[in-house]
Structures are given as structure tokens and as C-alpha cells.
Amino acid sequence: MHIDIRTLQNGSEIEGDLCIIGAGAAGISMALEWANSTKRVILLEGGGFNVEAEMQNLYKGESIGQRYYPLNSARLHFFGGTTGHWAGWCAPYDPIDFKKRDWVEHSGWPISYNDLDPYYKKAYKLVELPTPDFDTSYWQRQAPNMVLLPLDKNKAWTKMWQFSPPTRFGTKYREDILKAKSVHLYTYANLTNIETNPEVSNVKKIQVQSLDGKKYYVKAKAFVMACGAIQNARMLLASNKQAPKGLGNDNDLVGRYFMEHLEVKSADLVMASEREMSMYLLDFARIRARGELALSEQWQQEHHVLNGTTSMTPKTIAENEKAAIDWFPDDAAASIERMEKWDKAKADTTTIKYKPADLKVFELFTRMEQSPNPNSRVFLNQEKDEMGIPRITLDWKLTSFEKDSIRKLYELIGQEAGRTRVGRVKIMDWLLDNDTSWPEFLSAGWHHMGTTKMNENPKEGVVDANCKVHGIDNLYIASTGCYSTAGAANPTLTLLALTLRLSDHLKEKLG
Amino acid sequence: MAIKNPDLKMERRKFIQYTVAGFITASLPLSVQSQNLTLPEAAIADPNLLSFIENKEEVLTVGKIYRYHFPDEDNKRTLKTTLTKRNQDLEQLVEKDFELGNTVIINGWVLSITEARQCALYSIIHSEKPI
């Protein structure tokens, strides 16, 4: 069922068993899990079914740290959320991503890879991947020309990515949500306050507002915030009537540990001889997977580096590509349009043709986690949006650890390429400077993580292992904001797995 | 470790960017005599890098930078002695260097220490200009 909340009378009260705030990848995935439930599920979406400038304006914020994307277009504020301009890259996190690593401060999740594994095996369907199997051998059976580079697995390995079409949750699952008897979708319903009991141990109701100024209230047994890592932190901080520092923020952790994936061209690989490289080349129209090079857990530990991968793109092609940070538009509609064009190009089998000359030199492009850093953060500023909610300031901060790790990654890949007679690696100038400077073209994945970090200790995290906000017994967060570390891979598949796990927990809790 | 020497009269991109991974400087005392100098000089001074990148200038640059930072090795005799002292196939030595992490980063290239010395020798043989 769908209701445009603006059609309801000012002050109306809505009641349900479970209230999911936000209808992006996480919110929709969770609602689908409850589609046949006897429980009444309230699904709130701040926008409508399409991108609208005035809704995007609510997401405006300032950025004062490392160069970053415009906050009003990096996130999408309508049904389907940021999947509206998602690129569709999927890979599960590695087991090491969840572990406490003594060389990575603030690392370690209270859950392990094995806790998420059964949910990864369900999540792949939501994003329309052909298989839950990310093993290279599976893909080699599909395409025998996908030959692996002869890496020593104790040092480096080939990590597989799969590509979602990409699934635009807003179009793919719209009918399923509208038809679901137990799910009541309210659009144009923006969360503006979370009201707790005086002890701040239980959410009594939330206040929702539409742009026309009308206010509504939602009561439920449990609330799940699924508005994205930045917006969730913003609303926890802004809900400060009962808790002056904001909800879940007794220890000044909400909004801290903002993390991204660093995406940046970093080196070249000059091949010693011609090789079959299909395993590592993008060819979306023919096969929706490819490999990237990664360091083994053993080598990461030995050399004290962060987790990341490097992709290989023929230099002749890569040198004509602009960095994402340089082309990403300030207008959300334009960002969607750009991704739609890219989707069409990907589906065209004539788009990518690699000539032998293309396979002589490869650009090595880094995707790497950022280390958890409490000084990298979002916080409320003085400006308010049209609904009176303070806007957000992003202070994205990187350290020398990230740069050192990327440099070491290529030194080690260079050693392995040399040992195996694959070729020679040349590291780019910017990476050789032993300082904390970053090139202008340093990009990120518009992956927002860590702002409501998961940790069993309330002094070190905002949510516990079940994504419940510490100290509040019915407030949960389904978001990449819960990530304790950023992991090597793009976050969407893990977000879905984490959300499905939370959903199971809530089913048990709510009976 | 990254070393930049502003006195080195080279353009920015050619500065040495130098790191050592388990690298033993291994400068031999001049008294050490090579056991096997039967290989022609040109064969000793023929780094794989040259065949991969097909850019003599770049190999010359790498060689010059190596010599600048290792002045003890900045002569033909020492380099030839060092490169041949183990009486082993140079290709195998290069591979072994990579396996053991005996590499240097020069002008961005991740090179085996043996290969870097070959570049140095190459630059002595092919360049009259001192740096």
C-alpha cells in the first residue's frame, strides 16, 4: 500500500509494529523481508518516486576536509535511494575486514565474516547477480579464457567482482512493495525528530514532516533508521530534546569515523609479453565479473597495510578517462542521467574492443579502505534546511597511513609481477612523495561509512552487533554507517547482508 | 625511505624515489674479484626493463639515479663484479631478488636490485655525461 503522506491531515498519527525510516537499498530490502508478515510495517520515504530538486536540497551540506562530492547529489532522496545512480559493483568483504588488526587502530567488528556469510548468499539475488559464487574457479568454468596471473597465493590473489545490472531498487521493487499487504509505504515523509522516554531508553514515537509544513507522528514497537550513513548520524544528533548531545551520542561517537573508499590511479604495469588478460578486463556485455589484484591476509599483516585491490585497465583507454571527483555533477538528476548513459554503453557489445596494443601497458587503479579515524567526521552546522533541521558539515580526513598503504601495495604487486615475469610496475609520482598530500584527482566511491560505528562497547561504538543503538532498546540502524571498518570492497552487498541479518533479529524480537 | 636530492639537476619527475625492501646494499670491497666475467659486458648491462619499456632514455635515467645514490658502485668494475660474483644466471638473480623483496624503487619503477645495477652499468656504458 502506498500513501502520499501529504494527503493526510496535519498531526495524523500512524501506528505499526515496525517502522523503517528510509526506502533505499537497506530499507526496501528489509521491507521485502516482511512483505508476507502478519506484522504491520511502516516504510517511510522522504521523497517521492523520482528525483526532485527540492527534496535533494534537504541533503545539502558543506564539506571542509579532503575534496569531496557535493553532498546533495552524492546521495539520492527518493524511493530507491542512492541505488538510483549506483554503479553496481559487488563483492563480499574479506574475512580480514572483520578482524581486529593490531596495525589498524579502531579495527575489528563484533561480528565475523561467518556471521554474514549466509546473508551474502541471499543478498546476491536482491542485486540480480548471476551467482553467489565469487570464487575465480567458478568464473573460469563460465569463461575458460579468464586466466589467472600466476600469483603466489600467500602473497597476492585475484579478488572477483560481480556487476549488478545495476539494480535500481526504486524501479525493480516498486510494485513488490506496493503490493505487499503488510507494508505501508508513505512518501514525502521526512523524519524530523525521534522522541524517547525521559530515560532515553526507548523510542516512543517519531515526528515526520512534509515540505508543506505538515507534521505527522509514527508509533511502532521497533524503529530502523535506513536513511544512509550521513543522514542517520544527522538525525541522531538533531534529535536532542531528551538527550542534549543527541541520541546514541553519550560518548561523542555519532558522526565520527566517517570512512570512504579511496579510488585513485596509482601506477602502471608494463607487461613483459603478451598475455591473456580477460580475467582482469571490463567487458560488461559479455561477462558480468572480473578480477582485481589484492594482497593476501598474510602479506597485509606482514607489511602492515590496509586492505584494497587494484584494477587493471589498458593505459590507452584509462588515460582518456576523467576521475570521478572531476565529473561528478552538483545536480542529482544529471548524475542519474550520466549513470543511465553508462548503463546503456555497458550493454552495447561493440563498446569495448581491446586491441593487442592495448594490452602492453595497464593503468593500475586503487580501491582501498580508509582506516577508522575519529577525526574524520560529520557534524551539525548552524544552517537549517527547509524543515528546520540543522545541515551537516563533512570533514573528511585522511592520514599518511592510507598513502603509505597504497604505496606499499604497489611495491608488493611490483615484486610479485617481477617474480612471476609478468612485467614491471611503475608507481606514479604523487604516490612517491612521502607526505600526506593527495592528488586533485583522488576520488572516492560515494560510499559513506562508519558514522554509527558498530562495537559491543558503548564507549567505542554507537550500535551493538545487532545494529541496535546502545542504550535504546528499540532503535536500530540499517546502514553502512554501522561498519567498523570500511573493508576492501564496495559496501552495497555487505549492507544488504547486514540488513537481512538485522531483519532476522527483529523477526525474532517482535515475534 | 624516500630520498630527494635537490642538488641533483634533474627535472622533478626524474628525482629518485627510493625505498628499500630487505635490500642489502652489498657494495663489494674493490678487492673482491669476480669469479666469472666471461659474459660480455653488453649482456651484463642488459636489464629486462629495457626490453619491456623499449625506452633507452628511461633506463639511462634509472641507472644514473642509482649511481648517484650509491657512489661506491659508480664504476664499471664494481658493478660488473657485483653482478657476476655469484656466478649465477642474471635472470634468476632478478627473480630471486623479487621473491626476497630485494627491490628498489627508482623513478617510480619497482626494480630488482640486480636489475637496478644493470641499469647503472648500462648508463655508464651508454652515457658519456656525468650526472
pLDDT value at position A62? 97
- From CA A370, how far away is CA A367, in angstroms rounded? 10
Q: Do A419 and B99 touch (CB under 8 A)?
A: yes
Q: Do B95 and A429 touch (CB under 8 A)?
A: no
pLDDT over 80 at A73, yes or no: yes
Q: Do A415 and B98 touch (CB under 8 A)?
A: yes
pLDDT over 90 at B2, yes or no: no
* CA–CA distances in Å: residue A509 to residues A440, A497, A502: 48, 19, 10
**How high is the ipTM of this complex?**
0.92
- From CA A288, how far away is CA A346, in angstroms rounded? 10
Residues of B in contact with A293 (CB under 8 A): none
Question: H helices of A259-398, where?
Answer: 297-303, 315-318, 324-327, 332-347
Phi-psi group of A423: left, alpha or beta (phi > 0 → left; psi -120 to 50 → alpha; rest → beta): left
Mean pLDDT within A430-438: 91
Q: Do A427 and B108 touch (CB under 8 A)?
A: yes
Q: How many residues does chain B have?
A: 131
- From CA A73, how far away is CA A85, in angstroms rounded? 10
Residue B10's pLDDT band (boundaries 50, 70, 90)?
Answer: very low
- From CA A207, how far away is CA A484, in angstroms rounded? 29
Preferred mutation among A275, A361, A409, A415 to probe B, highest tally of B CBs within 10 A: A415
What percentage of chain A carries pLDDT values higher than 90? 94
Residue B12's pLDDT band (boundaries 50, 70, 90)?
Answer: very low
Per-chain mean pLDDT for chain A = 96
Question: What pLDDT digit, counting tens, does each position of A288-304 carry?
Answer: 999 999 999 999 999 99
Residue A85's pLDDT band (boundaries 50, 70, 90)?
Answer: very high
pLDDT over 70 at A318, yes or no: yes
**CA-nearest residue of chain A to B55?**
A270
Residue A66's pLDDT band (boundaries 50, 70, 90)?
Answer: very high
The H or E element spanning position A446 is: none
pLDDT value at position B127? 78
Question: What pLDDT digit, counting tens, does each position of A230-241 carry?
Answer: 999 999 999 999
Torsion of CA B47, B51, B57, B62, to 10 degrees: -30
Residues of B in contact with A310 (CB under 8 A): none
pLDDT value at position A358? 86
A410, A419, A434 ranked by CB distance to B98: nearest:
A419
B1, B13, B111 ranked by CB distance to A429: nearest:
B13
Q: Do A418 and B2 touch (CB under 8 A)?
A: no
B26 interfaces chain A, CB cutoff of 8 Å: no
The H or E element spanning position A215 is: strand A215-219
Q: ∠ CA(A132), CA(A345), CA(A279), 5° rounding?
A: 45
B1, B17, B109 ranked by CB distance to A424: nearest:
B109
Cis peptide before A166 (omega within 30 of 0): yes
pLDDT value at position A356? 81
Residues of A in contact with B21 (CB under 8 A): 411, 415
Touching A: B residues 98-127, CB under 8 Å: 98-99, 101, 103, 105, 107-112, 115
Mean pLDDT within A315-329: 93
B21, B108, B112 ranked by CB distance to A428: nearest:
B108
The β-bridge relationship of strands A203-209 and A190-196 is antiparallel
pLDDT value at position B24? 40
Residue B36's pLDDT band (boundaries 50, 70, 90)?
Answer: very low
The 8-class DSSP code of residue A6 comes to: G
Residues of B in contact with A424 (CB under 8 A): 48-49, 52-53, 109-111
Sequence letter at residue A334: A
- From CA A300, how far away is CA A94, in angstroms rounded? 12
A418, A426, A432 ranked by CB distance to B2: nearest:
A432
Preferred mutation among B109, B110, B113 to probe A, highest tally of A CBs within 10 A: B110
Mean pLDDT within A264-273: 97
Residues of B in contact with A267 (CB under 8 A): 108
Task: Collect all residues with Cβ–Cβ distance below 8 Å to A205 and sequence separation of at least 6.
Answer: A13, A195, A217, A218, A219
pLDDT value at position A348? 76
Residues of A in contact with B105 (CB under 8 A): 411, 414, 427, 432
How many C-beta atoms surround the C-beta of residue B25 within 10 A? 10
Residues of B in contact with A272 (CB under 8 A): 48, 51-52
Grid coordinates representing A234 are 544527522
B23 interfaces chain A, CB cutoff of 8 Å: no
A410 interfaces chain B, CB cutoff of 8 Å: yes
Smallest Cα distance from A413 to chain B, Å: 9
**CA-nearest residue of chain B to A271?**
B52
The closest alpha carbon to A62, from A443, A382, A450, belongs to A382
B2, B94, B103 ranked by CB distance to A434: nearest:
B2
Q: Do B48 and A272 touch (CB under 8 A)?
A: yes
- From CA A32, how far away is CA A45, in angstroms rounded? 15
B94 interfaces chain A, CB cutoff of 8 Å: yes
**CA-nearest residue of chain A to B114?**
A418
Mean pLDDT within A454-483: 98
Task: Collect all residues with Cβ–Cβ distance below 8 Å to A10 and sequence separation of at least 6.
Answer: A214, A215, A216
Residue B128's pLDDT band (boundaries 50, 70, 90)?
Answer: low
Question: What pLDDT digit, counting tens, does each position of A174-225 carry?
Answer: 999 999 999 999 999 999 999 999 999 999 999 999 999 999 999 999 999 9
- From CA A160, how far away is CA A327, in angstroms rounded? 27
pLDDT value at position A350? 64
Touching A: B residues 32-91, CB under 8 Å: 48-49, 51-53
Question: What pLDDT digit, counting tens, does each position of A133-170 carry?
Answer: 999 999 999 999 999 999 999 999 999 999 999 999 99
Question: H helices of A267-420, where?
Answer: 297-303, 315-318, 324-327, 332-347, 400-419
Q: Do B110 and A418 touch (CB under 8 A)?
A: yes
pLDDT over 60 at B35, yes or no: no
- From CA A40, how far away is CA A357, in angstroms rounded? 60
Residues of A in contact with B108 (CB under 8 A): 267, 426-429, 432
Q: Do B52 and A271 touch (CB under 8 A)?
A: yes
| Locus of grid cell 619527475 | B13
pLDDT value at position B16? 52
Question: The dihedral of CA A296, A449, A406, A88: what is its sign?
Answer: positive
Question: What pLDDT digit, counting tens, does each position of A336-387 carry?
Answer: 999 999 888 877 766 667 888 889 999 999 999 999 999 999 999 999 999 9
Residues of B in contact with A434 (CB under 8 A): 1-2
Smallest Cα distance from B113 to chain A, Å: 11
